[in-house]
Amino acid sequence: MPIKFQPLFTLSPKLVGLLLEIECVKEKVKHLPLTAKILGSLRESAKLMTTHYSTLIEGNRLTTDEVKKVLLHKGHFPGKELDEKEVKGYYLALEELEHLVARGSPITEKVIQTFHALVMGEGKKRVKPTPYRSGQNVIKDSQTGGIVYLPPEAKDVPGMMKGLIDWIAYQKDLPCPIVAGIAHYQYATIHPYYDGNGRTARLLTTLILHLGGYDLKGIYSLEEYYARNLLDYYRAITVGPSHNYYLGRAEGDITQWLEYFCKGVLEAFTRAKEQMEKEKTKGSPDQGKILRTLDPKKRKVLELFQNYEVITNQQVIALFDFKARTGAKLCQTWTQEGFLETVNPSRKKREYRLGRKYQKLIFL
C-alpha cells in the first residue's frame, strides 16, 4: 500500500523570484537561434558534463577529459577501472532518460529501479530493475564515523516509494521545478538502496524537468551546480531536528532546500543560455524556427543523420529502444508527414533519408 506523502514548504518571496527568473531564461532560450549541428554538440557536451559531475560527487577520480575519452573514444586508464565502469553506467542511464522523454513515458517505480540498475551495472546495457534494499542502511561521516542520517526501515520503503510516485503523478498545479525539487528531496529521504541513491535521485530530478517541458533541448547540467556547491547541498537537504528519519524529518519544512534547488536550476539554465549565445555568433544560419516544430523524437533522430545520410528502421528502433512494430509504425508516420522519405521500400531493410524540407538541418 502506498504511504501518503505530503511535503511541507512555503512559496517564499525568494522561491517565487527564482521561479520567475527560471521562466524568463527558459523563454529566452526557446527563441535563441541555433543549428541542428550546434544543438547536437551542446547536447553531447551536457551529457558528458552531467556524467562527470554526478559521478565526481560520489568520489569518481576521472577528470572531464578522461570521462570523454572513456565514453567517446574507448579510452582506458589503468587503476581506474571502477571509475570507468561508473561513468559508463551513468552515461547509459542518461541515454535511457532520453528514450523515456522521447516516448513521453510516465514515471514509474520500474523506471527508477532501471535507472538504479544502469547506474550500478558497470556499463551493461541490458539490466534488470533493482529491487529495493532489504535491510537498514546508515549514512555516516567518512572522517568521524558519526551517523549523519538514519533512513526509514526497509519494511517502509516500498510503501513510501509508491507514495512518492503517486504524488508525482498527481501534481498538476505546482510548478515543475518545485515538483522536481521535492521529488529529489523525498527520494534522498527514503534512500531506497544501499548505494547509488544520489545518482538515481539526480536522474529522477532531470527526468521530471525534461518531461515537464524544462529540458532546454537537453543542453544543461544541474550536476555541476551540486558538485561546486556540495557543502551547501548537504546543508540544504539536511532537514529536521534529528538524524533519525522517524524523529522529525518527515515533518520538516523543506523551503530552504527548494530555494537551493531552484537556484541551481536557474544557474544551469543561465549557463546554457550563455553557451547558445556564444554559438550564435559563429555565422551559421539560424535553424531555430524549424527545429522548434520538431518533437523530442524527431530532434533525437537528427543525431543519426549527423553521421548517416540514409538510416534504417533498425537504427531508429535501437535509438529509442522500441519494439520492432513500434519503430516501423513511427517511421511510417514520419514518412506520411514528410519528415522522412523512403529510399529503399524493402520491408526487411527499409531505408530513409530526411525529407527535403529538413535536409538543410544537416547538410549545410
The CATH number of residue 47's host domain is 1.10.3290.10
**Segment 253-310, tens digit of pLDDT:** 999 999 999 999 999 999 988 888 877 655 555 566 666 677 778 878 877 777 777 8
Q: Residue range 89-113: average pLDDT?
A: 92
**Segment 255-271, tens digit of pLDDT:** 999 999 999 999 999 99
pTM score, two decimals? 0.81
How far, in Å, CA of 311 to CA of 283, rounded? 29
Question: Per the domain annotation, does 5 fall within a domain?
Answer: no
How far, in Å, CA of 340 to CA of 355, rounded? 5
Question: Per the domain annotation, does 299 fall within a domain?
Answer: yes
Question: Per the domain annotation, does 39 fall within a domain?
Answer: yes
CA trace torsion 306, 308, 313, 314 (10° rounding): -100
Whether residue 37 is found in the same domain as residue 181:
yes
Question: Per the domain annotation, does 286 fall within a domain?
Answer: no
Q: Which of 248, 279, 310 is the last residue of a domain?
A: 279
Q: How many CB atoms lie within 10 A of CB 328?
A: 17
Question: Per the domain annotation, does 297 fall within a domain?
Answer: yes
Helices 197-211 and 81-103, axial angle in degrees (round to 10):
20
Domain count along the chain = 2
Question: Cell 509504425 sits at which residue?
Answer: 329
**Segment 30-85, tens digit of pLDDT:** 877 666 677 777 888 888 999 999 999 888 999 999 999 999 888 889 999 999 99
Cell of 169: 503523478
Whether residue 254 is found in the same domain as residue 341:
no
CA angle 30–35–37, rounded 5-degree value: 125
Q: Residue range 107-116: average pLDDT?
A: 96
Whether residue 187 is found in the same domain as residue 315:
no
CA trace torsion 53, 58, 63, 64 (10° rounding): -20
How far, in Å, CA of 352 to CA of 89, rounded? 31
Q: Which domain holds residue 238?
A: 13-279
How far, in Å, CA of 251 to CA of 195, rounded? 25
Q: Which of 257, 279, 301 is the last residue of a domain?
A: 279
Q: Which of 255, 279, 303 is the last residue of a domain?
A: 279
How far, in Å, CA of 94 to CA of 98, rounded? 6
pLDDT in the model for residue 249? 79
**Segment 169-196, tens digit of pLDDT:** 998 899 999 999 999 999 999 999 999 9
Cell of 356: 527535403
**pLDDT category, 364, cuts 50, 70, 90?**
very low
Whether residue 348 is found in the same domain as residue 201:
no
Exposed e or buried b for every residue in 287-319, given b needs 16+ CB within 10 A? bbeebeebebbbbbbbbbbeeeeebbbebbbeb
| CA-atom Rg of the chain in angstroms | 21
